[in-house]
Amino acid sequence: MPLTLADTEALDLVDPLKNAKSEFSIPENTIYLNSNSLGVMPKAVPERIQDFTTREWSNDLIGSWNHNKWFEAPYRIGDKIARIIGASDSEVVATDCASINLYKLVVAALNARPGRTRIVTEAGNFPTDLYMLQSVAESFAGDVEIVAVQDRNKIIEEIDERTALVVLTDVHYKTSHLLDRKAITERTHQHGALILWDLCHSAGALPVDLNELEADLAVGCTYKYLSGGPGAPGFIFVAKHLQNQLTQPLQGWWGHAEPFKFVDDYAPTEGIGRFLCSTQSVLALTAMEVGIDVFLKYEMKDIRRKSQKLGQLFIELIEERCAGFQFTIASPRDPEQRGSHVALAHDNAYAIMQALIKHKVIGDFRAPDTIRFGFSPLYMSYADIWNAVTILEEVMQTAQWDRKEFQIVNSVT
Ligand SMILES: Cc1ncc(COP(=O)(O)O)c(C=O)c1O
């Protein structure tokens, strides 16, 4: 029996996360399937920002660094993020963006493994990760080789005694394929190398237990599943036992042991603070903390369970109702091997997504032929999935995507 809208509404009625949606601001008649790019705004953000601008900034002014605890914000929010990614207090700071944090950690890790020349990563990793690695290799003037492995299943074999560092994104940004974090981390350690996980597509979407994994380093962003806001600061994780062994290259005054002594020579502070560089975007941190606080109210295992169910429902409905429209499911069907989005490949992917957006079903496109649908269990219902696939079916049946207006390529896809 084909699934009906009523079936999905019945699932919503018994959904333990159904009330979470009221914490988020979602435009009317919109099915938002893009939390893998930009999470929606938590409703509490405007009031918090209003308070920040009228009281903290306008009135309390510079005294806010102390009295309103602006100076502590990267640490305080870092500790909150730590709870979401299975780390301990003082192992995470919220700062900069994922790319810059990656750069800091890659250089620090290479310096901590002298004599080792290789960084193992994945070809087709998110481009910024590869670009940052290329830039580091250039600055090490030929002493560092980037091994970008084509076949995900062979990454593990490439890790050996020559490896200084392994840099991987656990959930692939395009396909959503989840790597075996445990096996890769273990292999890395067996060979005396360090591991750096890019958690951009897993923080807030699936359980990550960095301490249980004995992970060394991680970075991530907060503007996707964690609803931190556009361009919200990212985070940096360094396992406690490594923190004072590593020195990062962007030696700014915020990482100094005594920033307000204003001495000429750099001396890193103890602990996670040495991975900060400079004055933080307090306004952005303030908005972002609201999103993190919402996530802390919920159990990551419940979020994961619903995300997997939403993904399965989406795949089933696509197979049932969009068979014959030449879509390929570009993500693993096994929910255990998938992150929180599902990718479809199609020759007309860009135009199809534009037509969907016109109908307020919002996902995104990744060149050359992939459309992505991200599921954020706190604000998505099973009926949303049913309705989104209904609209996709209509777009395909009526070939609406073929209209001229949907062929115009925007700068952001
Ligand atoms: C896996 C991954 N890493 C890194 C980034 C880039 O992060 P940022 O622009 O915050 O530096 C992204 C952005 O989407 C990403 O998906």
Distance 263 CA to ligand 1 centre (A): 35
> What would the pLDDT profile of 90-141 be if each residue is shown by its tens digit?
999 999 999 999 999 999 999 999 999 999 999 999 999 999 999 999 998 7
Query: CA gyration radius for the chain?
Result: 22
Do 81 and 192 fall within a single domain? yes
Q: Residue 131 domain-assigned? A: yes
Q: Residue 359 domain-assigned? A: yes
- The closest-lying atom of ligand 1 relative to the alpha carbon of residue 98 is 11
pLDDT at position 142 over 80: no
Supply the pLDDT for residue 181: 97
Burial of 160 per CB tally in 10 Å (0-12, 13-18, 19+): middle
Enzyme catalytic residues = 126, 198, 223-224, 372
Q: Which of 261, 295, 329 is the last residue of a domain?
A: 295
Supply the pLDDT for residue 401: 87
User: Any alpha helices (H) in 56-146, and if so which ranges?
Assistant: 64-67, 73-84, 98-112, 127-139
pLDDT at position 264 over 90: yes
Mean pLDDT, the chain, integer: 96
pLDDT at position 1 over 80: no
The enclosing H or E element of 261 equals none
Q: Which of 295, 312, 347 is the last residue of a domain?
A: 295
> What would the pLDDT profile of 65-99 be if each residue is shown by its tens digit?
999 999 999 999 999 999 999 999 999 999 999 99
Domain containing 197 equals 69-295
> What would the pLDDT profile of 25-80 be if each residue is shown by its tens digit?
999 999 999 999 999 999 999 999 999 999 999 999 999 999 999 999 999 999 99
**Contact of 373 with 388, CB cutoff 8 Å:** yes
Supply the pLDDT for residue 409: 83
Going by alpha carbons, the residue nearest to atom 7 of ligand 1 is 98
Q: Residue 163 domain-assigned? A: yes
Using a 6 Å cutoff on CB, does residue 376 contact ligand 1? no
Distance 43 CA to ligand 1 centre (A): 25
Q: Residue 126 domain-assigned? A: yes
Measured between alpha carbons, how far is 310 from 298 in angstroms, rounded to an integer?
17
Do 132 and 19 fall within a single domain? no
Q: Which of 241, 260, 295 is the last residue of a domain?
A: 295
Going by alpha carbons, the residue nearest to atom 8 of ligand 1 is 98
Q: Residue 158 domain-assigned? A: yes
Distance 58 CA to ligand 1 centre (A): 33
Supply the pLDDT for residue 2: 81
> What would the pLDDT profile of 160-186 be if each residue is shown by its tens digit?
999 999 999 999 999 999 999 999 999
Do 134 and 244 fall within a single domain? yes
> What would the pLDDT profile of 343-402 be if each residue is shown by its tens digit?
999 999 999 999 999 999 999 999 999 999 999 999 999 999 999 999 999 999 999 988
Do 315 and 264 fall within a single domain? no
Q: Residue 34 domain-assigned? A: yes
Using a 6 Å cutoff on CB, does residue 97 contact ligand 1? yes
Do 268 and 304 fall within a single domain? no
Residue 75, amino acid? Y
- In CATH, what number is assigned to the domain containing residue 377? 3.90.1150.10
| Probe residue for ligand 1, chosen from 172, 173, 370 as the CB with the greatest number of ligand atoms within 8 Å | 173
Q: Residue 51 domain-assigned? A: no
| Probe residue for ligand 1, chosen from 126, 208, 219, 366 as the CB with the greatest number of ligand atoms within 8 Å | 126
Do 170 and 312 fall within a single domain? no
Structure token pair of residue 28: 């009317």
Using a 6 Å cutoff on CB, does residue 169 contact ligand 1? yes
Do 364 and 228 fall within a single domain? no
Distance 200 CA to ligand 1 centre (A): 6
Q: Residue 60 domain-assigned? A: no
Whether the full predicted model's pTM is greater than 0.95, yes or no, is: yes
Supply the pLDDT for residue 143: 87
E-strand spans in 12-64?
24-25, 31-32, 41-42
Measured between alpha carbons, how far is 91 from 75 in angstroms, rounded to an integer?
9
Q: Are strands 361-362 and 31-32 parallel, antiparallel or unpaired?
A: parallel
- Stretch 307-328: mean pLDDT, rounded? 96
Do 34 and 88 fall within a single domain? no
Measured between alpha carbons, how far is 68 from 155 in angstroms, rounded to an integer?
46
Using a 6 Å cutoff on CB, does residue 234 contact ligand 1? yes
pLDDT at position 300 over 80: yes
- In CATH, what number is assigned to the domain containing residue 249? 3.40.640.10
Using a 6 Å cutoff on CB, does residue 225 contact ligand 1? no
Q: How many domains does the chain have?
A: 2
Do 161 and 240 fall within a single domain? yes
Do 149 and 289 fall within a single domain? yes
Using a 6 Å cutoff on CB, does residue 128 contact ligand 1? yes
> What would the pLDDT profile of 194-244 be if each residue is shown by its tens digit?
999 999 999 999 999 999 999 999 999 999 999 999 999 999 999 999 999
**Contact of 186 with 142, CB cutoff 8 Å:** no
Distance 226 CA to ligand 1 centre (A): 14
